[in-house]
Amino acid sequence: MINNPNPASSVNAPRGIVHINGKKVLWDQFEVINQNYYQADTFQMQLPLLGQPNGVDLDYWLSQSIILVEIFAGFPKNPNSYSESDLDSIFFGTVEPLETQKISGIVSISGRDLISKFIDNKIYEKYPNNTSSQIVEKLCTKEGLKFNVVPTTTPVGQYYNIDYVQNLNSTSTEWDLITYLAQKENYLAYMKGQVFNFVPIPIQTADAYLLNCFTPPDGSPIKGNFTDIKVSRDLTRSRDIIVEVKTFNMRTGHPQTITVKATPNKSTYIKGMAQPIGEAQVFSYVKTNYTPEQALAWAQQQILALSSQERLLWFTDDYNNTLQKNSIIQLKGYSPSADQTYYPSSITRSMHFDGGASIEVNAKNHSPNTVKIVA
């Protein structure tokens, strides 16, 4: 288990460096948000207009067609003397909205990581004879991205038929295709710095991020390696969940409804007992031109996503770079029913140049009872 993620000698001294189009600049504050695996990471930042390197003035901000941002942060051995090599690159992406305030002397910028290249581009090529990893490598090469891709072996033609390929090519983005393939392969797709990763979902290991809670003997509030913590439940997700997918196949002309059910309580499922907490929660969707096999696969993916939102974990802590979006969080000591594994859905890192740095984490999972999926 990873318990105390930062050395005690540097835990209170995180530092940051910001590059704008490769130039080191002055900054006031920044926030980097690591999203879940189907969205781009984002950032927002404020910088001073004055005191910047030569050429980075008001006209610079208002005249550039492309602005690339790289944010470095971490715990240098010497917090008074450090460089980029002493820190981690926690964000690399492009500026999108930009606002200058000449009176207050502030530049406000925000944007997305390089996944935006996939999100903003439509699909124009068919890939039925390629594997998922081959497709991802081709798209990364097309967009000029470095990549770390773990090979897959199944041709994607076995996942969807030619009609569905046509539908993707004409209406969907490269990111739609990548996330579809990631779900099929049980993979994660995300940027880390300037490298795009397409890798298997991690399994629970001894290297899980341990969130350790304990109640002091004097009865004072709970303590642990966090500054604040909350656990919540969505009781509608703790019921049986039913996903209905209604589809009309343009080729056959026949409508069809595919139904999938998830039963989070193992004993209830085995005994065939009625639920003690109300009727099942039903989610209905319409998907045009899906085959029954495609509708079933989509429904199974959706029901897993819905059931994973039953238990929600939120906590804040001093800044660290240890917890990542592909980390597994192990909660211990909060309560017997809440102590289990959680998966981050967002991690927000904030830092102010004049002091103060923190992380805010949202994570989720279903109850540790077995989730049984029935088609």
Q: What is the pLDDT of residues 199-239, one digit of tens each?
A: 987 765 557 899 999 888 887 888 899 999 999 876 554 45
Predicted pLDDT at 305:
61
Residue whose C-alpha is closest to residue 224's, from 209, 204, 207, 206:
209
Q: What's the chain's Rg over C-alpha atoms?
A: 24
From start to end of 3-86, where are the E strands?
15-20, 23-25, 29-34, 42-48, 68-74
Q: How far is the C-alpha of 159 from the C-alpha of 341, rounded, in Å?
A: 31
Worst-scoring range by mean pLDDT, 158-162, 185-189, 232-236, 263-267? 263-267
Predicted pLDDT at 343:
84
Q: Is the pLDDT of residue 167 over 80?
A: no
Helix (H) or strand (E) holding 169: helix 162-171
123: pLDDT confidence band, cut at 50, 70 and 90? confident
DSSP string, 204-241: P-TT-EEEEEE--TT-PPPEESSSEEEEEE-HHHHS-E
- 171-200: average pLDDT: 86
Predicted pLDDT at 205:
58
Residues in the chain: 375
- Supply φ then ψ for residue 10, to 5 degrees: -125, 5
Q: Is the pLDDT of residue 14 over 60?
A: yes
- Which residue did the predictor score with more confidence, 345 or 70? 70
Percent of the chain scoring above 70 in pLDDT = 76
Q: How far is the C-alpha of 256 from the C-alpha of 216, rounded, in Å?
A: 58
Q: At what angle do helices 162-171 and 174-185 cross, to 10 degrees?
A: 140
**Do residues 32 and 361 make contact, with C-beta atoms less than 8 angstroms apart?**
no
**pLDDT, averaged across the chain:** 81
- Which residue did the predictor score with more confidence, 91 or 327? 91
Helix (H) or strand (E) holding 166: helix 162-171
- 258-268: average pLDDT: 62
Predicted pLDDT at 269:
36
303: pLDDT confidence band, cut at 50, 70 and 90? low
43: pLDDT confidence band, cut at 50, 70 and 90? very high
Helix, strand and coil content of the chain, in percent to the nearest 5, comes to: 20, 40, 40
- 88-117: average pLDDT: 94
Helix (H) or strand (E) holding 176: helix 174-185
User: Residue 303 — left, alpha, or beta (φ > 0 → left; ψ -120 to 50 → alpha)?
Assistant: alpha
